[in-house]
Chains A and B, each alone.
Chain A
Amino acid sequence: MSAATDVAQPRLGPVGWVRWTWRQLTSMRTALFLLLLLAIGAIPGSTFPQRSIDPARTTAWIADHPTAGPLLDRLGFFEVYASPWFAAIYLLLFISLIGCVLPRTKILWHQVRSAPPRAPRRLDRLAAHHEETVDGEVEEVRERLRLALRTRRYRVHAHDDATLSAEKGYLRETGNLVFHVALIGVLVGVAWGHLLGWKGDVIVPVGATFANTLSRYDTFNPGPWVDVNALDPYTIKVDRLDVTFETKAKGPGQFGAPRDFEAFTTFTDAGGRSEPRSIRVNHPLETGGGSVFLLGNGYAPVITVRAADGTVLYSDATPFLPQDNNYTSVGAVKVPGASPEQLGFAGFFLPTGVIDQQGPHSIFPDAVDPKLALTAFEGDLFPSGSPQSVYSLDTASMKPVPGKDGADQLRILLSPGQTYQLPGGRGSITFDRVERFAGLSIRTDPGKTMTLVAALLMLAGLVASLVIRRRRVFVRVGPGPEPGRTVVSVGGLAKDDDEGMPDEIAAVLTALEGSR
Chain B
Amino acid sequence: MTDQTLAQLSNLAIYSAMVVLTLAMLADAVYLARLVPAREAAQQTARERELVSAGGATETGAGEPASEVGGPASEAGEPASVLGAVGPTGREAEPLAARKAAAIGWTLTVLGTFFVVAGVVLRALEVHRWPLGNMYEFAVFGSMFVLLAYCGWSLKRDLRWLGLFVVIPVLLNLGLATTVWYTDASELMPSLKSVWLAIHVTVATLSVAVFTIGFSLGVMYLIQDRLETATERPRSFMSRLPDARALERLTYAVHIVAFPLWTFTVIAGAIWARQAWGSYWNWDPKEVWSFVIWVVYAAYLHARATTGWKRQNAVWIALVGYGCIIMNFAVVNVFFVGQHSYSGL
Using a CB–CB cutoff of 8 Å, the interface residues on chain A facing chain B are 28-29, 31-32, 35-36, 38-39, 42-43, 45-47, 49-50, 52-54, 57, 80-81, 190, 199, 246, 249-254, 257-261, 280-284, 291, 293, 295, 441, 443, 445, 448, 451-452, 455-456, 458-459, 462-463, 466, 497, 499
CA A283 to CA B56, docked complex, whole Å? 76
Segment at the A interface, from B13-21, B68-76, B220-228, B276-284 = B276-284
Are B280 and A246 in contact (CB-based, < 8 A)? no
How far, in whole Å, are A462 and B265 apart by their CA atoms in the complex? 14
- In the complex, the answer to whether A466 meets B267 with C-beta atoms within 8 Å is no
Which chain B residue has the least Cβ–Cβ distance from A462?
B260
Question: What residues on B are CB-neighbors of A254 within 8 Å?
Answer: 183-184, 186, 343-344
Measured CA separation A246–B343 after assembly (Å): 12
Whether, in the assembled complex, B298 has its beta carbon less than 8 Å from a beta carbon of chain A, the answer is yes
Question: Does B154 lie at the interface of the complex (its beta carbon under 8 Å from any beta carbon of A)?
Answer: no
User: Is B193 a contact of A31 with CB atoms below 8 Å?
Assistant: no
B33-41, B144-152, B167-175, B287-295: which lies at the interface: B287-295
Task: Provide the main secondary structure of the chain A interface.
Answer: mixed
**Interface-located stretch among B93-101, B209-217, B301-309:** B301-309
Q: Tell me, yes or no, whether B332 is within 8 Å of chain A by CB.
A: yes
Contacts of B306 in A (CB 8 A): 28-29, 32
CB contact between A293 and one of B189, B260, B278, B305 (< 8 Å): that residue:
B278
**Distance in angstroms between the alpha carbons of A460 and B299 in the assembled complex:** 19
User: In whole angstroms, how far apart are the Cα atoms of A281 and B317 in the complex?
Assistant: 39
Asked whether B345 is an interface residue with its Cβ less than 8 Å from the other chain, the reply is yes
Interface check B249, CB cutoff 8 A: yes
Other-chain contact of A53, B283, B305, B309, B345 (Cβ < 8 Å): B283
A251-B332 CB under 8 A given contacts A295-B278, A462-B260: no
CB–CB B302/A499 < 8 A: no
With both chains docked as a complex, state the minimum distance between the C-beta of A457 and any C-beta of chain B, in angstroms.
11
Determine the distance from Cα of A39 to Cα of B305 in the docked complex, in whole angstroms.
19
**Contacts A459-B264, A463-B260, A499-B249; A249 near B187 (Cβ below 8 A):** yes
Structural contact, B296 and A441, CB atoms closer than 8 A: no
Binary CB contact string for chain B from 299 to 323 against chain A (1 if under 8 A, 0 otherwise): 1001101111100000001000000
Alpha-carbon separation in the docked complex, A32 to B184 (Å): 44
Contacts of B295 in A (CB 8 A): 35-36, 38-39, 42
Are B277's CB and A295's CB within 8 A?
Answer: yes
Interface residues of B in 221-280 (CB under 8 A from A): 249, 256, 259-260, 263-264, 267, 270-271, 274-280
| A residues less than 8 Å from B302 (CB atoms) | 28, 31-32, 35
For chain B, what secondary structure do more than half of its interface residues adopt (helix, strand, loop), or is it mixed?
Answer: helix
Q: Is the CB of A462 within 8 A of B332?
A: no
Check B186–A45 contact: CB distance below 8 A. Answer: no
Asked if B88 CB lies within 8 Å of chain A CBs, one says no
Question: Which residues of A sit under 8 angstroms from B256, Cβ to Cβ?
Answer: 466
A459 near B267 with CB under 8 A, answer: yes
Q: Are B190 and A260 interface neighbours, CB within 8 A?
A: yes
Question: Which one of B191, B281, B345 lies within 8 Å of A281 (CB-CB)?
Answer: B191
Rounded to whole angstroms, the CA-CA distance of A456 and B271 in the bound complex is 11
Q: Does B285 contact A (CB under 8 A)?
A: yes
Check if B194 is an interface residue, CB within 8 A of chain A.
yes
Q: Distance in Å from the Cβ of A194 to the closest Cβ of chain B?
A: 11
Q: Which residues of B contact A280 (CB under 8 A)?
A: 190
Evaluate contact between B344 and A253: CB separation under 8 angstroms: yes
| Contact among A52, A81, A249, A445 for B184, CB-based, below 8 A | A249
Q: How far is the CB of A251 from chain B (nearest CB, A)?
A: 4
Please name all residues of chain A whose beta carbon is closer than 8 Å to the beta carbon of B260 when the two chains form the complex.
459, 462-463, 466
Given A42-B292, A281-B193: A462 touches B283 (CB 8 Å cut-off): no
Residues of A near B337 (CB, < 8 A) are: 49, 54, 57
Question: With A and B bound together, what is the CA distance between A443 and B307 in angstroms?
Answer: 46
Q: Which residues of A contact B188 (CB under 8 A)?
A: 259
Say whether, besides A39-B296, A462-B263, A466-B259, A53 and B284 are in contact (CB < 8 Å): yes
Q: Min CB distance, A373 to chain B, in Å?
A: 27
User: Can you list 25 A-B pairs with a CB-CB distance of less than 8 A?
Assistant: A28-B302, A32-B309, A36-B317, A39-B295, A45-B283, A45-B288, A46-B285, A49-B337, A246-B187, A249-B186, A252-B344, A253-B344, A259-B189, A281-B191, A282-B193, A282-B194, A282-B276, A284-B275, A291-B278, A295-B277, A443-B279, A451-B280, A452-B270, A459-B264, A462-B263
* Interface hub of B187, B188, B336 (most chain A Cβ within 10 A): B187
**Extra contacts besides A35-B295, A35-B299, A456-B267 (17): CB < 8 Å:** A28-B306, A32-B299, A35-B296, A36-B296, A36-B317, A39-B292, A39-B296, A45-B288, A199-B278, A199-B279, A253-B343, A254-B186, A259-B189, A443-B279, A455-B270, A462-B263, A499-B249
